[in-house]
Amino acid sequence: MIWLIGNKGMLGTELSLLFAERGLDFTGTDREIDITSPAALEAFANGKKAHGKRVCWIVNCAGYTAVDKAEDDAETCRRLNVDGPGNIAALAYKLGARFIHFSTDYVFGTYNKPVSTSTGEKRPYLEADDTSPIGVYAASKRDGEVRVIENTPDAYVIRTSWLYGKYGNNFVTTMLRLMQERDTISVVNDQRGSPTWAHDLADAIVKMIDAVEHPICLEPPPRNVPCFGIYHYTNDGDTTWFDFARAIYQKARELGLLTKDCEVKPCSSADYPSKVKRPDYSVLDKGRIRNEIRILIPQWEESLEKFLKELKK
Ligand SMILES: NC(=O)c1ccc[n+]([C@@H]2O[C@H](COP(=O)([O-])OP(=O)(O)OC[C@H]3O[C@@H](n4cnc5c(N)ncnc54)[C@H](OP(=O)(O)O)[C@@H]3O)[C@@H](O)[C@H]2O)c1
């Protein structure tokens, strides 16, 4: 069975619904089984074993995700993002279970890769690139990746970015609220990344589990067996928060989700002070996951439209 940890969060809820829809055998826990307590984690797994259930996969969506708040709450953030995943990884190793854990594009804070001499363009980050986190949250996620990989060889660490979905506070839902309340909003135009619909990421995880469980795929398209380690998954394409906000506005207006005009203006990060600097560029290369599990990754605009249509229902 699959043990889904953090099943009440934004990504956890999407996964929970998808596991149920696909008929997968799973159980979910959230705060009631504290990931910072090795004893609580082990007792839960033992309880399942006593009922004849073997945990074959653990998927961890729990964590500390408040980027600015983390600056004043470093101890809690590190307990949740470093010690917690480390505890789960150690238990997964003991149980002989495979472990999927999530990390972030923010592990890449400062761009230090080559820039194309002809176009001046940066290149998306590869899984093996050196990390350069800025701030407590980003550093805790990077250290969490390291702790997980140290504690079990059977770990898949999926880095994702700019996640939004139906079941949590996120950029898209915040924009929709502000656009309905205000006549003008300013959005930063000097940070580049890739929006990701949590539903698409959940779908990729189901496909990844399937690819590992059924390594010999006789039907086309042929695929490799995904190997342990770090993977990147985001929606395809990249944009700035400003262009993302404009796309949200245009689509939401077309769909009637917004009933009034709102001017969306560009601003720079300097105009929008926050406790911690976000990366100027954190686009992730997705070649590895694309090749190993042969998935088609939807373009961010396409997924945004699907998500807004879902909200409309
Ligand atoms: N959101 C993004 O934009 C984004 C971007 C890149 C990567 N990620 C990564 O993706 C993963 C999922 O993110 P998300 O946005 O879905 O997270 P989320 O909505 O914040 O969900 C996290 C869940 O963990 C629970 N939790 C907190 N403390 C716990 C504990 N001690 N034991 C067990 N559960 C606990 C939370 O409960 P409470 O709500 O009660 O605290 C919540 O239900 C995270 O690893 C995150 O770092 C997210």
Residue 293 has pLDDT above 90, yes or no: no
Q: State the pLDDT at residue 217.
A: 60
Q: State the pLDDT at residue 16.
A: 98
Q: Which of 33, 106, 163 gets mutated to test ligand 1 (max ligand atoms within 8 A of its CB)? A: 163
The ligand 1 atom nearest the CA atom of 163: 3
Phi, psi (deg, nearest 5) at residue 6: 85, 40
Q: State the pLDDT at residue 213.
A: 87
The CATH classification number of 2-168+194-238+277-299 equals 3.40.50.720
Q: Which helix (H) or strand (E) holds 43?
A: helix 38-50
Is the CB of residue 123 below 6 angstroms from any atom belonging to ligand 1?
A: no
Residue 218 has pLDDT above 60, yes or no: no
Going from N- to C-terminal start, the domains of the chain cover: 2-168+194-238+277-299
Is the CB of residue 8 below 6 angstroms from any atom belonging to ligand 1?
A: yes
Q: Which helix (H) or strand (E) holds 155?
A: strand 155-160
User: Ligand 1 centre and the CA of 76: distance in Å?
Assistant: 13
Q: State the pLDDT at residue 245.
A: 98
Separation between Cα atoms, residue 280 and residue 270, nearest integer Å: 12
Is the CB of residue 15 below 6 angstroms from any atom belonging to ligand 1?
A: no
Is the CB of residue 304 below 6 angstroms from any atom belonging to ligand 1?
A: no
Q: Check: CB of residue 153 under 8 Å from CB of residue 229.
A: no
User: Residues 90-127: pLDDT tens digits?
Assistant: 999 999 999 999 999 999 999 887 777 777 789 999 99
Separation between Cα atoms, residue 221 and residue 156, nearest integer Å: 22
Separation between Cα atoms, residue 288 and residue 274, nearest integer Å: 33
Is the CB of residue 163 below 6 angstroms from any atom belonging to ligand 1?
A: yes
Q: Which amino acid, 115?
A: V
CA-nearest residue for atom 45, ligand 1, is 102
Q: State the pLDDT at residue 28.
A: 98
Better pLDDT: 208 or 214: 208
What residues are labeled active site?
Answer: 137
For residue 102, what are the contacts with CB-CB under 8 A and spacing of at least 6? 11, 60, 61, 63, 157, 158, 159, 160
Mean pLDDT, range 6-35, rounded to an integer: 98
